[in-house]
A and B are shown apart, each in its own frame.
Chain A
Amino acid sequence: MPAGPMDGAPAAERAHVTIRGLSKRFGNAVIYDKFDFDIPRGKLISVFGPNGCGKSTLINMIAGLIPINEGEILFDGKRLNEIKFGYVFQNYREALFPWLRAIDNIEYPLKVMKVPSAERQARSEKLIAHLGVKIDLKRYPYEMSGGQQQLVSIMRALIVEPEILFLDEPFSALDYEMTLFMREQLQRVFQETGTTTVLVSHDLEEAVYLADRILLLSRHPALVADFVHFDDARPRTDETLSGAEFIRVKAHCLEVFQREVRKG
Protein backbone atom coordinates (compact mmCIF):
# COMPACT_ATOMS: atom_id res chain seq x y z
CA MET A 1 0.00 0.00 0.00
CA PRO A 2 1.54 3.35 -0.97
CA ALA A 3 1.91 5.86 1.85
CA GLY A 4 1.74 8.86 -0.44
CA PRO A 5 0.19 12.24 0.24
CA MET A 6 -3.55 12.38 0.55
CA ASP A 7 -5.94 14.97 -0.78
CA GLY A 8 -3.88 18.07 -0.44
CA ALA A 9 -1.61 17.06 2.43
CA PRO A 10 1.90 18.03 1.40
CA ALA A 11 4.40 15.23 1.00
CA ALA A 12 6.85 16.97 3.33
CA GLU A 13 4.62 16.34 6.34
CA ARG A 14 5.58 13.17 8.15
CA ALA A 15 2.58 11.00 8.84
CA HIS A 16 2.01 9.91 12.41
CA VAL A 17 -1.06 7.79 11.83
CA THR A 18 -1.65 5.99 8.56
CA ILE A 19 -5.14 4.77 7.77
CA ARG A 20 -5.40 2.38 4.86
CA GLY A 21 -8.44 0.72 3.29
CA LEU A 22 -10.64 1.42 6.32
CA SER A 23 -14.19 0.11 5.98
CA LYS A 24 -16.96 0.35 8.54
CA ARG A 25 -20.59 -0.64 8.27
CA PHE A 26 -23.42 -0.27 10.78
CA GLY A 27 -26.01 -2.75 9.54
CA ASN A 28 -26.64 -1.75 5.96
CA ALA A 29 -25.20 1.74 6.30
CA VAL A 30 -21.70 2.05 4.88
CA ILE A 31 -19.96 4.69 7.00
CA TYR A 32 -16.45 4.21 5.61
CA ASP A 33 -15.53 2.43 2.40
CA LYS A 34 -11.82 1.86 1.72
CA PHE A 35 -10.93 5.12 3.45
CA ASP A 36 -7.29 6.27 3.30
CA PHE A 37 -5.84 9.10 5.32
CA ASP A 38 -2.60 10.27 6.98
CA ILE A 39 -2.64 12.19 10.24
CA PRO A 40 0.44 14.44 10.35
CA ARG A 41 2.70 14.44 13.41
CA GLY A 42 2.63 17.14 16.05
CA LYS A 43 -0.36 18.95 14.58
CA LEU A 44 -3.78 19.68 15.97
CA ILE A 45 -6.34 18.26 13.54
CA SER A 46 -10.00 19.19 13.70
CA VAL A 47 -12.51 16.79 12.19
CA PHE A 48 -15.62 18.50 10.87
CA GLY A 49 -18.48 17.39 8.66
CA PRO A 50 -22.23 16.93 8.26
CA ASN A 51 -24.23 15.30 11.07
CA GLY A 52 -23.91 11.54 11.11
CA CYS A 53 -21.04 11.46 8.64
CA GLY A 54 -18.93 9.48 11.07
CA LYS A 55 -16.66 12.09 12.67
CA SER A 56 -16.74 10.45 16.08
CA THR A 57 -16.77 7.00 14.49
CA LEU A 58 -13.44 7.83 12.87
CA ILE A 59 -11.58 8.66 16.08
CA ASN A 60 -13.35 5.86 17.94
CA MET A 61 -12.04 3.42 15.36
CA ILE A 62 -8.55 4.89 15.53
CA ALA A 63 -8.61 4.72 19.33
CA GLY A 64 -9.93 1.14 19.28
CA LEU A 65 -13.26 1.93 20.98
CA ILE A 66 -15.24 0.34 18.17
CA PRO A 67 -14.10 -2.45 15.88
CA ILE A 68 -13.43 -1.89 12.18
CA ASN A 69 -14.67 -4.15 9.42
CA GLU A 70 -11.64 -3.91 7.18
CA GLY A 71 -8.44 -1.97 6.86
CA GLU A 72 -5.40 -1.08 8.87
CA ILE A 73 -4.52 1.76 11.22
CA LEU A 74 -0.87 2.14 12.19
CA PHE A 75 0.96 4.60 14.43
CA ASP A 76 4.52 5.01 13.11
CA GLY A 77 4.02 1.51 11.81
CA LYS A 78 3.01 0.25 15.26
CA ARG A 79 -0.32 -1.12 16.41
CA LEU A 80 -2.61 0.60 18.92
CA ASN A 81 -1.67 -1.73 21.78
CA GLU A 82 1.99 -0.81 21.35
CA ILE A 83 1.52 2.92 21.85
CA LYS A 84 0.35 5.27 24.58
CA PHE A 85 -2.63 7.44 23.74
CA GLY A 86 -5.20 9.57 25.50
CA TYR A 87 -8.91 9.85 24.86
CA VAL A 88 -11.30 12.53 26.13
CA PHE A 89 -15.02 11.77 26.05
CA GLN A 90 -17.76 14.29 25.38
CA ASN A 91 -19.66 13.14 28.45
CA TYR A 92 -17.20 13.96 31.25
CA ARG A 93 -19.85 13.20 33.87
CA GLU A 94 -19.94 9.57 32.82
CA ALA A 95 -16.28 9.27 31.87
CA LEU A 96 -14.75 10.26 35.22
CA PHE A 97 -14.94 7.96 38.24
CA PRO A 98 -17.11 9.69 40.86
CA TRP A 99 -15.76 7.51 43.66
CA LEU A 100 -12.25 8.87 43.15
CA ARG A 101 -11.02 12.37 43.94
CA ALA A 102 -10.02 14.42 40.90
CA ILE A 103 -6.33 13.83 41.55
CA ASP A 104 -6.88 10.06 41.80
CA ASN A 105 -8.85 10.15 38.56
CA ILE A 106 -5.89 11.84 36.90
CA GLU A 107 -3.44 9.30 38.29
CA TYR A 108 -5.65 6.29 37.53
CA PRO A 109 -4.10 5.41 34.13
CA LEU A 110 -0.69 5.25 35.83
CA LYS A 111 -2.16 2.90 38.40
CA VAL A 112 -3.36 0.65 35.60
CA MET A 113 0.21 0.76 34.24
CA LYS A 114 1.44 -0.30 37.72
CA VAL A 115 3.49 2.86 38.25
CA PRO A 116 4.47 3.11 41.94
CA SER A 117 2.58 5.60 44.08
CA ALA A 118 5.48 8.02 44.62
CA GLU A 119 6.15 8.28 40.91
CA ARG A 120 2.44 8.72 40.17
CA GLN A 121 2.39 11.66 42.52
CA ALA A 122 5.54 13.15 41.04
CA ARG A 123 4.15 12.89 37.53
CA SER A 124 0.79 14.42 38.40
CA GLU A 125 2.53 17.29 40.22
CA LYS A 126 4.65 17.86 37.14
CA LEU A 127 1.61 17.87 34.88
CA ILE A 128 -0.29 20.26 37.15
CA ALA A 129 2.64 22.68 37.19
CA HIS A 130 3.16 22.30 33.47
CA LEU A 131 -0.43 23.23 32.67
CA GLY A 132 -0.69 25.87 35.37
CA VAL A 133 -3.79 24.25 36.85
CA LYS A 134 -4.96 26.03 39.98
CA ILE A 135 -8.20 24.25 40.85
CA ASP A 136 -8.49 22.12 44.00
CA LEU A 137 -7.97 18.54 42.83
CA LYS A 138 -8.71 17.04 46.24
CA ARG A 139 -12.41 17.38 45.47
CA TYR A 140 -14.65 14.73 43.93
CA PRO A 141 -15.72 15.26 40.30
CA TYR A 142 -19.36 15.91 41.26
CA GLU A 143 -18.21 18.80 43.42
CA MET A 144 -16.67 20.53 40.38
CA SER A 145 -18.07 22.57 37.52
CA GLY A 146 -18.46 20.99 34.08
CA GLY A 147 -15.39 22.75 32.74
CA GLN A 148 -13.28 21.69 35.69
CA GLN A 149 -14.43 18.10 35.23
CA GLN A 150 -13.50 18.16 31.57
CA LEU A 151 -10.13 19.66 32.47
CA VAL A 152 -9.62 16.71 34.83
CA SER A 153 -10.56 14.38 31.95
CA ILE A 154 -7.98 16.02 29.72
CA MET A 155 -5.34 15.77 32.43
CA ARG A 156 -6.19 12.09 32.90
CA ALA A 157 -5.57 11.62 29.19
CA LEU A 158 -2.28 13.54 29.33
CA ILE A 159 -0.75 11.93 32.42
CA VAL A 160 0.55 8.96 30.44
CA GLU A 161 2.41 11.37 28.14
CA PRO A 162 0.49 10.09 25.15
CA GLU A 163 1.89 10.04 21.65
CA ILE A 164 -1.52 11.05 20.38
CA LEU A 165 -4.54 12.66 22.02
CA PHE A 166 -8.14 12.17 20.86
CA LEU A 167 -10.98 14.48 21.90
CA ASP A 168 -14.59 13.70 20.96
CA GLU A 169 -16.57 16.96 21.03
CA PRO A 170 -15.03 17.69 24.41
CA PHE A 171 -16.69 21.07 24.99
CA SER A 172 -20.15 20.55 23.55
CA ALA A 173 -21.71 19.80 26.93
CA LEU A 174 -20.36 23.04 28.43
CA ASP A 175 -21.88 26.49 28.46
CA TYR A 176 -20.39 29.12 26.15
CA GLU A 177 -18.33 30.90 28.78
CA MET A 178 -16.76 27.63 29.89
CA THR A 179 -16.23 26.57 26.28
CA LEU A 180 -14.17 29.67 25.57
CA PHE A 181 -12.11 29.06 28.69
CA MET A 182 -11.56 25.41 27.81
CA ARG A 183 -10.45 26.24 24.27
CA GLU A 184 -7.66 28.29 25.78
CA GLN A 185 -6.79 25.42 28.12
CA LEU A 186 -6.61 23.00 25.21
CA GLN A 187 -4.53 25.40 23.15
CA ARG A 188 -2.14 25.75 26.06
CA VAL A 189 -1.92 21.97 26.48
CA PHE A 190 -1.12 21.62 22.80
CA GLN A 191 1.47 24.37 22.84
CA GLU A 192 3.13 22.95 25.93
CA THR A 193 3.24 19.34 24.79
CA GLY A 194 3.14 19.43 20.99
CA THR A 195 1.25 16.14 21.08
CA THR A 196 -0.48 15.07 17.88
CA THR A 197 -4.10 15.92 18.65
CA VAL A 198 -7.31 14.91 16.89
CA LEU A 199 -10.34 16.96 17.86
CA VAL A 200 -13.86 16.16 16.70
CA SER A 201 -15.95 19.31 16.72
CA HIS A 202 -19.41 20.33 15.63
CA ASP A 203 -18.57 24.01 15.89
CA LEU A 204 -16.78 25.34 12.81
CA GLU A 205 -15.40 28.39 14.57
CA GLU A 206 -13.85 26.17 17.21
CA ALA A 207 -12.63 23.66 14.63
CA VAL A 208 -10.72 26.36 12.70
CA TYR A 209 -9.61 28.44 15.67
CA LEU A 210 -7.85 25.56 17.41
CA ALA A 211 -6.54 23.65 14.41
CA ASP A 212 -3.45 23.49 12.24
CA ARG A 213 -5.40 21.30 9.83
CA ILE A 214 -9.12 20.90 9.33
CA LEU A 215 -10.28 17.55 8.01
CA LEU A 216 -13.61 18.07 6.25
CA LEU A 217 -15.57 14.89 5.71
CA SER A 218 -18.35 14.22 3.23
CA ARG A 219 -21.60 12.46 4.01
CA HIS A 220 -21.21 8.73 4.41
CA PRO A 221 -19.63 6.76 3.03
CA ALA A 222 -17.23 9.40 4.30
CA LEU A 223 -14.50 10.74 2.05
CA VAL A 224 -12.02 13.52 2.59
CA ALA A 225 -13.93 16.50 1.21
CA ASP A 226 -10.94 18.75 1.90
CA PHE A 227 -7.93 18.98 4.18
CA VAL A 228 -7.47 22.65 4.95
CA HIS A 229 -4.42 24.35 6.46
CA PHE A 230 -4.71 27.13 9.02
CA ASP A 231 -1.26 28.39 9.93
CA ASP A 232 -1.88 31.44 12.13
CA ALA A 233 0.68 31.81 14.89
CA ARG A 234 -0.06 30.58 18.41
CA PRO A 235 -1.21 31.55 20.93
CA ARG A 236 -4.32 32.48 19.05
CA THR A 237 -6.52 35.07 20.65
CA ASP A 238 -9.79 36.87 20.08
CA GLU A 239 -7.97 38.87 17.42
CA THR A 240 -7.41 35.66 15.49
CA LEU A 241 -11.17 35.37 15.11
CA SER A 242 -11.38 38.68 13.26
CA GLY A 243 -8.17 38.20 11.23
CA ALA A 244 -8.35 37.95 7.45
CA GLU A 245 -6.80 34.47 7.29
CA PHE A 246 -9.19 33.02 9.84
CA ILE A 247 -12.19 34.49 8.04
CA ARG A 248 -10.95 33.19 4.69
CA VAL A 249 -10.30 29.65 5.99
CA LYS A 250 -13.59 29.52 7.84
CA ALA A 251 -15.52 30.74 4.79
CA HIS A 252 -13.81 28.14 2.66
CA CYS A 253 -14.62 25.36 5.12
CA LEU A 254 -18.21 26.50 5.31
CA GLU A 255 -18.48 26.44 1.53
CA VAL A 256 -17.13 22.87 1.37
CA PHE A 257 -19.40 21.85 4.21
CA GLN A 258 -22.51 23.27 2.56
CA ARG A 259 -21.61 21.66 -0.73
CA GLU A 260 -21.41 18.30 1.08
CA VAL A 261 -24.65 18.88 2.95
CA ARG A 262 -26.50 19.71 -0.30
CA LYS A 263 -25.19 16.52 -1.91
CA GLY A 264 -27.06 14.49 0.69
Chain B
Amino acid sequence: MKRLDQLLPIVGVIGLIVVWYVAVWCEVVDPVLLPSPTQTFWALWKGMTGGVLGFDFFMTVRRTIISTLIAAAIALPLGIFLGSSERLYRSVEFVIDFFRSTPASAMFPLFLVLFGVGDKTKISVAAFGAMLVILFNVAYGVMNARKTRLLAAKVMGASRLRVLTDVMLLESLPQTFIGLRNGVSLALVIIVVAEMFIGSTDGLGHRVFEAQQLFEMPDMYAAIFAAGALGYGLNLLFLLVERRFVHWSGK
Protein backbone atom coordinates (compact mmCIF):
# COMPACT_ATOMS: atom_id res chain seq x y z
CA MET B 1 0.00 0.00 0.00
CA LYS B 2 2.76 2.41 1.08
CA ARG B 3 4.56 2.04 -2.23
CA LEU B 4 1.36 2.57 -4.18
CA ASP B 5 0.64 5.73 -2.18
CA GLN B 6 3.79 7.29 -3.60
CA LEU B 7 2.25 7.03 -7.06
CA LEU B 8 -0.82 9.07 -6.03
CA PRO B 9 0.43 12.38 -7.53
CA ILE B 10 0.53 10.71 -10.96
CA VAL B 11 -3.21 10.03 -10.82
CA GLY B 12 -4.00 13.70 -11.40
CA VAL B 13 -1.55 13.94 -14.30
CA ILE B 14 -3.02 10.87 -16.01
CA GLY B 15 -6.52 12.17 -15.34
CA LEU B 16 -5.73 15.52 -16.95
CA ILE B 17 -4.23 13.90 -20.04
CA VAL B 18 -7.21 11.54 -20.40
CA VAL B 19 -9.70 14.41 -20.13
CA TRP B 20 -7.63 16.36 -22.64
CA TYR B 21 -7.58 13.44 -25.13
CA VAL B 22 -11.33 12.95 -24.73
CA ALA B 23 -11.95 16.66 -25.28
CA VAL B 24 -9.83 16.61 -28.45
CA TRP B 25 -11.54 13.43 -29.66
CA CYS B 26 -15.04 14.70 -29.14
CA GLU B 27 -14.01 18.07 -30.57
CA VAL B 28 -15.43 19.89 -27.57
CA VAL B 29 -13.21 22.80 -28.59
CA ASP B 30 -12.18 23.84 -32.09
CA PRO B 31 -9.20 21.55 -32.96
CA VAL B 32 -7.25 24.61 -34.05
CA LEU B 33 -7.46 26.02 -30.52
CA LEU B 34 -6.82 22.78 -28.67
CA PRO B 35 -4.16 20.49 -30.14
CA SER B 36 -3.81 16.96 -28.78
CA PRO B 37 -1.43 16.16 -25.93
CA THR B 38 0.80 14.29 -28.38
CA GLN B 39 1.13 17.30 -30.65
CA THR B 40 1.79 19.56 -27.69
CA PHE B 41 4.44 17.39 -26.10
CA TRP B 42 6.10 16.87 -29.45
CA ALA B 43 6.22 20.65 -29.89
CA LEU B 44 7.65 20.94 -26.37
CA TRP B 45 10.31 18.32 -27.07
CA LYS B 46 11.29 19.82 -30.43
CA GLY B 47 11.32 23.34 -29.03
CA MET B 48 13.43 22.44 -26.02
CA THR B 49 15.94 20.18 -27.78
CA GLY B 50 16.81 22.30 -30.78
CA GLY B 51 14.15 24.89 -31.33
CA VAL B 52 13.86 28.45 -30.19
CA LEU B 53 11.92 27.48 -27.03
CA GLY B 54 15.08 26.22 -25.36
CA PHE B 55 16.76 29.59 -25.84
CA ASP B 56 13.69 31.46 -24.57
CA PHE B 57 13.58 29.16 -21.55
CA PHE B 58 17.22 29.91 -20.82
CA MET B 59 16.66 33.67 -21.10
CA THR B 60 13.75 33.56 -18.65
CA VAL B 61 15.76 31.47 -16.20
CA ARG B 62 18.63 33.93 -16.48
CA ARG B 63 16.45 36.97 -15.82
CA THR B 64 14.60 35.31 -12.95
CA ILE B 65 17.81 34.20 -11.26
CA ILE B 66 19.50 37.58 -11.69
CA SER B 67 16.51 39.46 -10.30
CA THR B 68 16.20 37.04 -7.35
CA LEU B 69 19.91 37.38 -6.61
CA ILE B 70 19.68 41.17 -6.64
CA ALA B 71 16.57 41.01 -4.44
CA ALA B 72 18.25 38.66 -1.97
CA ALA B 73 21.45 40.71 -1.90
CA ILE B 74 19.45 43.75 -0.78
CA ALA B 75 16.77 42.06 1.32
CA LEU B 76 18.91 39.72 3.43
CA PRO B 77 21.15 42.31 5.12
CA LEU B 78 18.37 44.90 5.24
CA GLY B 79 15.88 42.40 6.70
CA ILE B 80 18.35 41.32 9.38
CA PHE B 81 19.09 44.95 10.21
CA LEU B 82 15.42 45.94 10.41
CA GLY B 83 14.37 42.76 12.20
CA SER B 84 17.02 43.03 14.89
CA SER B 85 15.03 45.89 16.41
CA GLU B 86 11.28 45.43 16.57
CA ARG B 87 10.70 49.19 16.97
CA LEU B 88 12.77 49.90 13.87
CA TYR B 89 10.78 47.40 11.83
CA ARG B 90 7.45 48.73 13.10
CA SER B 91 8.39 52.19 11.91
CA VAL B 92 8.92 51.04 8.31
CA GLU B 93 6.38 48.21 8.30
CA PHE B 94 3.61 50.23 6.67
CA VAL B 95 5.82 51.33 3.79
CA ILE B 96 6.99 47.75 3.19
CA ASP B 97 3.48 46.33 3.39
CA PHE B 98 2.11 49.05 1.12
CA PHE B 99 4.58 48.41 -1.68
CA ARG B 100 4.35 44.67 -1.12
CA SER B 101 0.62 44.97 -1.77
CA THR B 102 1.08 47.16 -4.84
CA PRO B 103 0.94 45.00 -8.00
CA ALA B 104 4.48 45.08 -9.34
CA SER B 105 3.08 45.28 -12.87
CA ALA B 106 1.81 48.76 -11.99
CA MET B 107 5.45 49.80 -11.60
CA PHE B 108 6.41 48.97 -15.21
CA PRO B 109 5.79 52.45 -16.66
CA LEU B 110 7.85 54.03 -13.89
CA PHE B 111 10.73 51.60 -14.33
CA LEU B 112 10.53 52.04 -18.13
CA VAL B 113 11.14 55.73 -17.66
CA LEU B 114 14.03 55.01 -15.32
CA PHE B 115 15.74 52.16 -17.19
CA GLY B 116 14.40 52.29 -20.74
CA VAL B 117 13.16 49.41 -22.87
CA GLY B 118 15.29 46.37 -22.19
CA ASP B 119 16.42 43.78 -19.71
CA LYS B 120 17.22 46.35 -17.05
CA THR B 121 13.55 47.25 -16.62
CA LYS B 122 12.33 43.65 -16.52
CA ILE B 123 14.95 42.58 -14.04
CA SER B 124 14.59 45.61 -11.80
CA VAL B 125 10.80 45.38 -11.52
CA ALA B 126 11.05 41.66 -10.69
CA ALA B 127 13.85 42.35 -8.22
CA PHE B 128 11.78 45.10 -6.61
CA GLY B 129 8.78 42.79 -6.10
CA ALA B 130 10.85 39.84 -4.89
CA MET B 131 12.95 42.06 -2.63
CA LEU B 132 9.96 43.21 -0.59
CA VAL B 133 8.68 39.65 -0.16
CA ILE B 134 12.09 38.40 0.98
CA LEU B 135 12.67 41.46 3.16
CA PHE B 136 9.52 41.03 5.16
CA ASN B 137 10.09 37.31 5.68
CA VAL B 138 13.69 37.79 6.80
CA ALA B 139 12.72 40.59 9.20
CA TYR B 140 9.95 38.47 10.71
CA GLY B 141 12.27 35.49 10.97
CA VAL B 142 14.75 37.57 12.94
CA MET B 143 12.06 39.20 15.11
CA ASN B 144 10.42 35.87 15.92
CA ALA B 145 13.64 34.21 17.05
CA ARG B 146 12.80 32.10 20.10
CA LYS B 147 13.25 34.23 23.19
CA THR B 148 14.54 31.25 25.18
CA ARG B 149 17.28 30.64 22.64
CA LEU B 150 18.37 34.26 22.75
CA LEU B 151 18.34 34.16 26.56
CA ALA B 152 20.33 30.92 26.53
CA ALA B 153 23.02 32.56 24.43
CA LYS B 154 22.98 35.63 26.66
CA VAL B 155 23.28 33.51 29.82
CA MET B 156 26.34 31.84 28.31
CA GLY B 157 27.93 35.27 28.02
CA ALA B 158 27.48 35.85 24.28
CA SER B 159 27.80 39.48 23.18
CA ARG B 160 25.05 41.23 21.23
CA LEU B 161 26.91 40.72 17.96
CA ARG B 162 27.49 37.07 18.81
CA VAL B 163 23.79 36.55 19.58
CA LEU B 164 23.00 38.08 16.19
CA THR B 165 25.41 35.92 14.19
CA ASP B 166 25.15 32.69 16.17
CA VAL B 167 21.47 32.65 17.02
CA MET B 168 19.26 35.24 15.31
CA LEU B 169 20.63 34.61 11.82
CA LEU B 170 20.19 30.86 12.06
CA GLU B 171 16.82 31.22 13.74
CA SER B 172 15.61 33.31 10.82
CA LEU B 173 16.76 30.86 8.13
CA PRO B 174 13.56 28.77 7.87
CA GLN B 175 11.48 31.94 7.40
CA THR B 176 14.11 33.36 5.06
CA PHE B 177 13.73 30.34 2.80
CA ILE B 178 9.97 30.83 2.71
CA GLY B 179 10.71 34.38 1.57
CA LEU B 180 13.17 33.19 -1.08
CA ARG B 181 10.69 30.65 -2.44
CA ASN B 182 7.90 33.20 -2.63
CA GLY B 183 10.31 35.78 -4.01
CA VAL B 184 11.54 33.61 -6.87
CA SER B 185 7.95 32.67 -7.79
CA LEU B 186 6.95 36.32 -7.90
CA ALA B 187 10.06 37.24 -9.90
CA LEU B 188 9.17 34.58 -12.48
CA VAL B 189 5.61 35.91 -12.80
CA ILE B 190 6.84 39.47 -13.32
CA ILE B 191 9.55 38.44 -15.79
CA VAL B 192 7.13 36.41 -17.93
CA VAL B 193 4.61 39.27 -18.01
CA ALA B 194 7.37 41.74 -18.90
CA GLU B 195 8.60 39.50 -21.70
CA MET B 196 5.15 39.53 -23.28
CA PHE B 197 4.71 43.22 -23.64
CA ILE B 198 7.72 45.40 -23.18
CA GLY B 199 9.49 45.29 -26.53
CA SER B 200 10.88 41.81 -25.95
CA THR B 201 12.54 39.61 -28.48
CA ASP B 202 13.06 36.51 -26.34
CA GLY B 203 11.99 34.75 -23.16
CA LEU B 204 9.10 32.41 -22.36
CA GLY B 205 6.59 35.26 -22.16
CA HIS B 206 7.62 36.39 -25.62
CA ARG B 207 7.39 32.80 -26.92
CA VAL B 208 3.83 32.31 -25.58
CA PHE B 209 2.73 35.63 -26.99
CA GLU B 210 4.35 35.15 -30.39
CA ALA B 211 3.01 31.60 -30.81
CA GLN B 212 -0.46 32.93 -30.06
CA GLN B 213 -0.07 35.78 -32.57
CA LEU B 214 1.10 33.33 -35.24
CA PHE B 215 -1.63 30.88 -34.26
CA GLU B 216 0.89 28.11 -33.58
CA MET B 217 -1.20 26.55 -30.86
CA PRO B 218 0.99 23.49 -30.05
CA ASP B 219 3.96 25.87 -29.62
CA MET B 220 1.93 28.12 -27.37
CA TYR B 221 0.87 25.26 -25.11
CA ALA B 222 4.43 23.94 -25.13
CA ALA B 223 5.73 27.34 -23.95
CA ILE B 224 3.08 27.46 -21.22
CA PHE B 225 4.13 24.02 -19.98
CA ALA B 226 7.76 25.05 -20.10
CA ALA B 227 6.94 28.08 -17.93
CA GLY B 228 5.01 25.85 -15.51
CA ALA B 229 7.87 23.38 -15.29
CA LEU B 230 10.26 26.26 -14.65
CA GLY B 231 8.14 27.64 -11.80
CA TYR B 232 7.74 24.21 -10.24
CA GLY B 233 11.41 23.43 -10.70
CA LEU B 234 12.61 26.66 -9.08
CA ASN B 235 10.35 26.06 -6.09
CA LEU B 236 11.61 22.49 -5.79
CA LEU B 237 15.22 23.64 -6.08
CA PHE B 238 14.82 26.04 -3.15
CA LEU B 239 13.05 23.35 -1.13
CA LEU B 240 15.92 20.92 -1.68
CA VAL B 241 18.52 23.56 -0.81
CA GLU B 242 16.53 24.41 2.31
CA ARG B 243 16.31 20.77 3.36
CA ARG B 244 20.05 20.45 2.92
CA PHE B 245 21.12 23.60 4.78
CA VAL B 246 18.24 24.22 7.17
CA HIS B 247 17.90 20.63 8.25
CA TRP B 248 16.19 21.61 11.52
CA SER B 249 13.36 23.48 9.78
CA GLY B 250 9.97 22.43 11.14
CA LYS B 251 11.49 20.07 13.72
Contact = CB atoms under 8 A, between A and B. Distances in A.
A65 B154 CA distance: 8
Given A94-B149, A99-B170, A63 B155 contact: yes
Nearest to A111: B166
Interface stretch (B69-77, B156-164, B204-212): B156-164
B249 to A, nearest CB: 9
Interface in A85-101: 87, 89, 91, 94-99
Interface SS of A by simple majority: loop
A100 to B, nearest CB: 9
Contact of B157 (A96, A99, A109): A109
Interface string A67-101: 00000000000000000000101010011111100
Nearest to A94: B148
A65 B150 CA distance: 11
A112 interface: yes
**Centre residue among B157, B162, B246 by max chain A CB count within 10 A:** B157
B157 A142 contact: no
Interface residues of B, number: 21
Given A109-B156, A112-B157, A140-B248, A97 B170 contact: yes
A156 B166 CA distance: 16
Contact of A142 (B155, B173, B246, B248): B248
Contacts of B154: 65
Interface in B201-251: 246-248, 251
B167 interface: yes
B151 interface: yes
Nearest to A65: B151
Contacts of A94: 146-149
Interface string B120-160: 00000000000000000000000000111101111111100
B151 A140 contact: no
A113 interface: yes
Contacts of B251: 98, 142
B148 A91 contact: yes
Nearest to B248: A98
A17 to B, nearest CB: 16
Nearest to A90: B148
Contacts of B162: 112
A142 B250 CA distance: 10
B153 to A, nearest CB: 8
B93 to A, nearest CB: 26
A89 B158 CA distance: 17
A95 B155 CA distance: 11
A213 B90 CA distance: 48
Contacts of B247: 99, 140
Given A95-B149, A112-B162, A87 B248 contact: no
Contacts of A89: 148, 151-152
27 contacts: A65-B155, A87-B155, A89-B148, A89-B151, A89-B152, A91-B148, A94-B147, A94-B148, A94-B149, A95-B148, A95-B149, A95-B152, A96-B152, A97-B149, A97-B167, A98-B248, A99-B170, A99-B247, A109-B156, A109-B157, A112-B157, A112-B162, A113-B157, A140-B247, A140-B248, A142-B251, A156-B156
Given A63-B155, A89-B152, A97-B167, 7 more contacts: A64-B155, A65-B151, A65-B154, A89-B151, A94-B146, A97-B149, A112-B158
